Amino acid sequence: MKRAMMSVMLLLATPALAAPASPASSAKTFVEGLYKPWVASLKRNAAADRTGYMPKDDESVYVPELAALLNKDQRISNRTGDVGVIDWVILCSCQDDGGLGYRVTVPVATATTAVAKVALSFGGKYDRTLTLKLVKRPQGWRIADVSDAETPSLLAMLRKELRGKK
């Protein structure tokens, strides 16, 4: 009886294990984690250098193929002095991120893929939307492709424009 009572007490004293986050929730958290420090830096000082706060073009943000293509574009641009294929800030689809605001929704998510919609504002109404195709990797969510009204697929554009270039 004593043993049964202690077991019940231990069971009641042990906090319930938290349920794992849903794929949509964890994908949204990943995307918001890209924007939050960036936008916070804008609010602190709009004229400051934000390169440390802006999302990186590496495998902590993008799938390996997309990260490699972005880095290849940058290397070619640095070597030749020409403007690269990418001449805008990808995750705001802009050249000037002043006044950037964002809202993230994840309308589609499975355990391994998700689609995030990022509504963007530049001090006014939310009139621009990016679509981020996400893939769950062992390290967490990564961006596999980016699209907006002008660029149906960043990945396809980079593959085409950088094909054969070194």
**Whether the Cβ atoms of residue 127 and residue 103 lie closer than 8 Å to each other:** no
pLDDT of residue 123: 85
pLDDT tens, position by position, 30-65 = 999 999 988 888 888 766 655 555 677 789 999 999
For the domain spanning 21-162, the CATH number is: 3.10.450
pLDDT tens, position by position, 129-145 = 999 999 999 999 999 99
Averaged pLDDT for residues 11-19: 48
> CA-to-CA distance for 135 and 137, rounded, in angstroms?
6
Please tell me whether residue 104 adopts helix, strand or coil conformation: strand
